[in-house]
Amino acid sequence: MFPTPMFNRVVVRPFEEPSVSKGGIHIPDTAKKKVTCGEVIAVGPGKVANLNSEPPTKLPHMTVEAFETTCKVAMDVRIPMTIKVGDTVHYSEYAGQIMRVNDQDFIVLVEDDVLAFEREPGKGKK
């Protein structure tokens, strides 16, 4: 089972860098550039934003629990994710955190760290 990212985070499987050049020369790991693009394999539910700076006024007949629930509903809004599973994303070289699952490396990025994304027609409609 793969972990689900929290809030506005995405999990990316980086594309593999070829270990042999076009001319047939073997490229050692120390000479390879870090991969800065990959496929999105998991997406969080989205960021929760607080739209109001002041809570609504408490009515005299409201209980404390009802008032807190009203404030939470009125103030917190989830912003949906732009990036979907299956998209190809481009990110900066030092963005995100590396996560290892089943001997495979993944990168966990905040949606704001993604520089650009590509979506093939018919993909990423979740």
Select from 27, 45, 32, 16 the least CA-distant residue to 111.
Answer: 45
Q: pLDDT tens for residues 101-116?
A: 888 889 999 998 999 9
Q: How many CB atoms lie within 10 A of CB 112?
A: 9
Per-residue pLDDT averaged across 84-98, rounded?
Answer: 90
pLDDT of residue 110: 93
d(CA 7, CA 10): 9
Q: pLDDT tens for residues 25-78?
A: 777 767 667 778 899 999 998 887 766 555 555 555 666 666 666 555 555 677
pLDDT of residue 69: 63
Q: CATH says 9-19+31-118 is which class?
A: mainly beta
pLDDT of residue 108: 93
pLDDT of residue 126: 47
Q: Which of 2-11, 13-22, 30-39, 43-52 has the highest mean pLDDT?
A: 2-11
